[in-house]
Amino acid sequence: MKRFLFAALLPLCVLLLPGQNSTVGYNQAFRPQFHFSPRVHWTNDPNGLVFFEGEYHLFYQYNPFGDVWGHMSWGHAVSRDLLHWDELPVALPEENGVMIFTGSVVIDHTNTSGFCLGGKPCMVAVWTGFTAKTATKPDLQTQNIAYSNDRGRTWTKYRDNPVLNLNLTDFRDPKVFWSTQAKQWVMAVSLPNDHKILIYSSADLKHWKRLSEFGPAGATAGQWECPELFEVPLDGKPETRWILKVGLNPGAVAGGSGEQYFIGHFDGQRFTDDNPPTTTLWTDYGKDCYCALTFNNLPKTNPPLTIGWMSNWQYARDTPTSPFRGQMTLPRKLSLRTTPDGIRLFQQPVDALSTLREARLEVHEKMENTGHQFQFSSMLPLGTAQDAGWKVLANNGTYTSIGYDKQKGVLYVDRTHSGNVSFSKDFPARTEAPLKLNGNTLRLNIIVDRDSVEVFADEGRLTITNLVFAPAGADKLEFYATDGKPGVVSGLFWKLKSTWLTSH
Ligand code: FRU
């Protein structure tokens, strides 16, 4: 019966599968124009980010059969500039009742795995296999591997999977990298309900030895997911610190899913936090940046680069987009800087974004016809104003405001009037980030891409990432200030070109 159903549905599935011949384009009202989203269907976390032979690979949690979570597989797209993406066929499909959950990809340069052919490096994916419970067995999550000898175009799952099985219902999201300290592969993987990250090592990616654990620490209100362990230069010098980043769902700073990070040292065995376990640092203060991953195998001179999933588990299945659901943040450069509060993670959009700029304009207090794809940077001396900022995507009572509240000492993005907010009670929100102003001046870099607003404040010291669904005519930009007189605002504005139109 099952087989029959499958045969009957197959032609339909083939029609719906993403591919070069699909007639669905990338020009829908709420389709981001320079952020990645799959042509059709559902995505959540980015997976397996890796740079290899000139290509940036973005794998991602993907449902090949629909626009809500299910049948989790790894979708795949490649780019040469992190902005123009080509979607390729599904890399790792759900198979034999095992879904492919989040994980990472490494480049095996010296064939430690024995999977690489012809004396050349190969790609090895490490992911969580999820087997749903049956009448007699509970859900099972294990770590598994697959390899590719053709630049990620085709993959073979290892015949002796799983490579790591603790017989647990929650044990997931392996982030693997080559540790120069340990001269081994290292894996950070989550025990979500224990609020622990386990660290393993391996010589061949097949046999894993437990080294240490980290946690609980920081925020523990929800499950810990999507760990990331990576090294970042400090203050632009050769000196570095290690970041252990952990997704939290629910209970994050803006409600629902969000991410925290710990700053410390990693000696190849153990991560030690430089701060007391009571310190909680958030990577982003918006509602829509989750499970960010950094690229493996970047050239040594590159800063770490990260991409996150731009949604929130509170309402991810209800966002009003079609025929896709889910998208990625802009790729961001990461750095660490010493601030009066201590060492902090800074994020900036990748440099390549400037290649999408159209004519440069001076920012004015009121601008019309901004369109829905633009970037602007502004200097806003608060003066005596108690509250001041920008309304973007504005028209007739619709707007998203990005401003500073002096009394609370917070930067905020308020999307309660941003357009369609009614699809979930958790969507309308004012998200806030504590920010001490430098010289009473608010410095913002704001990027709007049809259904999203990304705010980088003070050279990236704080970010706020939020989805918004504004109506077509909402394309004004307006400065506002209340209870006092602000100084003269200045800044630059650019419309940004679509990356889909130029490549498809
Ligand atoms: C995080 C997450 C991961 C899991 C994946 C499943 O968003 O829950 O922990 O691997 O999504 O799609």
Inter-residue contact 247 to 215 (CB < 8 Å): no
Residue with tokens 């230069």: 233
CA nearest to 164, candidates 190, 130, 141: 141
Residues 304-346 pLDDT 10s: 999 999 999 999 999 999 999 999 999 999 999 999 999 999 9
Inter-residue contact 156 to 146 (CB < 8 Å): yes
What is the identity of the amino acid at 53? E
> Is the distance from the beta carbon of residue 73 to the nearest atom of ligand 1 less than 6 Å?
no
Ligand 1 centroid vs 128 CA: distance in angstroms? 9
Atom of ligand 1 nearest to the CA of 72: 12
Inter-residue contact 444 to 348 (CB < 8 Å): no
- Give the length of the chain: 504
* pLDDT at residue 143, as a whole number: 99
Mutation pick for ligand 1 pocket among 68, 101, 228 (CB with most ligand atoms within 8 Å): 101
Residues 333, 451, single domain; the answer is no
* pLDDT at residue 228, as a whole number: 98
Q: What is the CATH number of the domain that holds 359?
A: 2.60.120.560
Residues 412, 304, single domain; the answer is no
Residues 359, 333, single domain; the answer is no
Whether residue 502 lies inside any domain: the answer is: no
Residue 440 has pLDDT above 80, yes or no: yes
Residues 380-414 pLDDT 10s: 999 999 999 999 999 999 999 999 999 999 999 99
CA–CA gap between residue 199 and residue 181 (Å, rounded): 14
Residues 338, 373, single domain; the answer is no
Mutation pick for ligand 1 pocket among 173, 193, 289, 317 (CB with most ligand atoms within 8 Å): 173
> Is the distance from the beta carbon of residue 101 to the nearest atom of ligand 1 less than 6 Å?
yes
Q: How far apart are the first and last CA of the chain?
A: 41
Where residue 417 falls (left for φ over 0; alpha for ψ -120 to 50; beta otherwise) is alpha
Inter-residue contact 314 to 424 (CB < 8 Å): yes
Residues 333, 359, single domain; the answer is no
Residues 295, 362, single domain; the answer is no
* pLDDT at residue 501, as a whole number: 67
Residue 136 has pLDDT above 70, yes or no: yes
CA–CA gap between residue 312 and residue 306 (Å, rounded): 18
CA nearest to 285, candidates 469, 491, 429, 76: 429
Inter-residue contact 420 to 403 (CB < 8 Å): no
- SS3 label, residue 396: coil
Residues 218, 196, single domain; the answer is yes
Share of the chain above pLDDT 70, in %: 95
Total tally of structural domains belonging to the chain: 2
Residue 9 has pLDDT above 80, yes or no: no
Question: Which domain covers residue 33, as residue numbers?
Answer: 12-316+327-349
* pLDDT at residue 18, as a whole number: 44
> Is the distance from the beta carbon of residue 314 to the nearest atom of ligand 1 less than 6 Å?
no
CA–CA gap between residue 99 and residue 56 (Å, rounded): 24
Question: Is there a catalytic annotation at residue 45?
Answer: yes
Mutation pick for ligand 1 pocket among 94, 168, 291, 328 (CB with most ligand atoms within 8 Å): 291
Whether residue 2 lies inside any domain: the answer is: no
Residues 157-209 pLDDT 10s: 999 999 999 999 999 999 999 999 889 999 999 999 999 999 999 999 999 99
CA–CA gap between residue 312 and residue 289 (Å, rounded): 7
Residues 360, 459, single domain; the answer is yes
> Is the distance from the beta carbon of residue 45 to the nearest atom of ligand 1 less than 6 Å?
yes
Residues 377, 281, single domain; the answer is no
> Is the distance from the beta carbon of residue 61 to the nearest atom of ligand 1 less than 6 Å?
yes
Residues 406, 274, single domain; the answer is no
Q: What is the mean pLDDT of the chain?
A: 95
Residues 250, 358, single domain; the answer is no
Residue 502 has pLDDT above 60, yes or no: no
